[in-house]
Amino acid sequence: MLFNSIEYVIFLPIVVILFYLLPHKYRWVMLLAASCTFYMWFVPKYILILLITIIIDYFAGILMEKYSDNHKLKKRFLVISIVSTCLVLFVFKYLGFVTDNLVALCQSLGLNVNTTINLILPIGLSFHTFQSMSYVIEVYRGNQKAERNFGIYSLYVMFFPQLVTGPIERPGSLLRQLREEKRFSYENISKGLRLIIFGLFIKMVVADNIGYYVDLIYESPNKYNSWDIILGMFLYSFQIYGDFFGYSTIALGSAKLIGYDITNNFNTPYLAKSIADFWHRWHISLSTWFRDYVYFPLGGSRVKFSRWAFNIMVVFVISGIWHGAAWNFLIWGAAHGLLHILEKAILKHIPQRDNKGKITTLIVDAFKIAKTFILVTLFWSLFRATSFANIHDLFSSLINNFNAGEHLQIDSNIWIYLGLFIILDVLLANNRFDSWCDKLPAIVRWFIYFVLIFMIITCSSVNNFPFIYFQF
C-alpha cells in the first residue's frame, strides 16, 4: 500500500478513527492488525519472513535479560540474533549478487558454471532488519528492558508509518510510546495533516514530475548534449531528495495523527557545507544507526588518523552495500567515505580564522555549500545508474557531447514546482514543516495549505513513480 494511493487515503482515516474509539488496552492490537494489513498489501507471503525475524529477536531479548549475569551466554544470544537476522537479509538481498559474481569469476577462469538465483526482495527488509538489531543490541547493553509482550514487540518492528522505508526507530523511543496512553488532540491531527499534505506535495508534484525527465537522461544519455546531462544529474538530486523526504514526511504525519512522534529524517541536506555535514542532515536515522552501532564500537574518532580513516571507510562501504546489492552502491559508499577523509585531511592543514567579516563568511559558506552539492550530485549518478555500462555512457556523453546531441525539452512548470520546494526547504532549516507553520500568521498559514492542496490536485505527475527507497 503506497502512501500516495487511494487505498491509503481510505486506510489511514479508518485506523485513526478506530484508534481513538478503542480503549487504550486494545489499541496496540488494532495497530498491529493494521500494520499487518498494510504490509501484506504488497506481497502477503513475505510477512512470514518478517515474522521469523520478529520471533528470533523477541526471544533473544528475553534470554539476554534472563542470563544478564552470564556475559558469555548473553553474548551468544546476541550473536545468534544478529547472525540469524542478517542471514535472512543476505539470502533475499545479497545471495543473487554474490552468486552472479562467483559465476562470472568461474567463467573467466574457464570453468563451465551457469547458476542464477532470482529472489524478490521483501519490501522494507533492510529497514526493519536494522530496527530489530538496534533492539537486541540495546537489550544486550542494558539500555533497554526486554519487551515481554510479543504483540507490542511485533508492533515496534511493524509500525506501519515507518515499516517500509523508515525512519529506523530506536526501542527507547518507539516502544515507550507504544505503551503510553494517547488522548485525542486537535493539535496532533492538525500537525499530522500538515505534514501529510507537505509530503504529498514534495513526492507527487516535485519528485514525480522531475522523475520523468531524469528517466529520459539516464535511460539514453547518448541522445543528449552535455548540458542536458548535467541538468539531468542536477534534477535527480532533487528527485531522490523529494521522493525520500516526501515519504518520510508522510510517515511523520501519519504517526502524529495518533499521537506518536518518530524521527525527523532530514534537515536541509543540500545546505550542508561538507560531506560529513551532509550525512548529519541526510537520512538521519540511518546515519545515527551506523554511528552508534558500527562507528563508535570501532573506536570512533578517539584514535589515530589512520585508524579513524579505516573506521570511516568501513561505515561508508557498509552503508553503500546496505543501499543495494550492486557494485555501483559499494563504490558510491566508498566515494563518500574517501571524500570525507580527504576533507578532514585538508582541514587539518588549513588555519581557521575566527575574525571573518559577515560578507566573507557568507561567500565562504556559499562556496562550501555549492562544492558539497556538486560532489553529492556527481556521486548520485553512481546511485541512479543501472549498470557500469550506463555509468560509462553517462560520463562519456557528458565529456563528448558539448556540441552534439538532442536538447531536453522541459515543461516550464517544473521550475515553478522546484523553485517553490527549494524556497520552502531553505525556510525550514532546523525546523519541521508543522512546527514552522505554527510560527506563521493564520492567513499566511492557510494560504500555504491552499496552494499545496491545489497543486497536489492539479499538478501531480501522471507518472506514478514508486518510492525510490522501496528497492532497499
Instruction: Tell me what percent of the residues of the chain surpass a pLDDT of 90.
Output: 64
Model confidence, pTM: 0.92
Per residue in 233-282, pLDDT (tens digit) is: 999 999 999 999 999 999 999 999 999 999 999 999 999 999 999 999 99
Indicate if the pLDDT at residue 351 is higher than 70: no
Residue 191 confidence (pLDDT): 95
Dihedral over alpha carbons 407, 411, 413, 418 (to 10 degrees): -50
pLDDT recorded at residue 142: 92
Q: Which residues contact 218 (CB under 8 A, 6 or more apart)?
A: 232, 236, 384, 385, 386, 390, 394
What average pLDDT does the chain have?
Answer: 90
d(CA 84, CA 136): 12
Q: Tens digit of pLDDT for each residue in 118-156?
A: 777 788 888 889 999 999 999 999 999 999 999 999 999
Separation of alpha carbons 355 and 377, rounded Å: 32
For residue 137, the tally of other CB atoms under 10 A from its CB is: 21
Task: Give the model's pLDDT for residue 353.
Answer: 63
Query: 466 pLDDT exceeds 80?
Result: no
Arithmetic mean of pLDDT, 173-181: 92
Please write the tens of the pLDDT for every residue from 370-387. Answer: 999 999 999 999 988 888
Helix (H, G, I), strand (E, B) or coil at 411: coil
**Residue whose C-alpha cell is 508509518:** 161
Which pLDDT value is given to residue 356?
65
- Give dist(CA 187, CA 192) in Å, integer: 8
pLDDT of residue 73: 92
State pLDDT tens for residues 19-63.
Answer: 999 999 999 999 999 999 999 888 888 889 889 999 999 999 999
Which pLDDT band holds residue 365 (cuts at 50, 70, 90)?
confident
The torsion angles phi and psi of 237, rounded to 5 degrees, stand at: -55, -40
The runs of H, that is alpha helices, within 22-144 are 24-40, 47-66, 71-89, 95-108, 125-141
Residue type for position 208? D
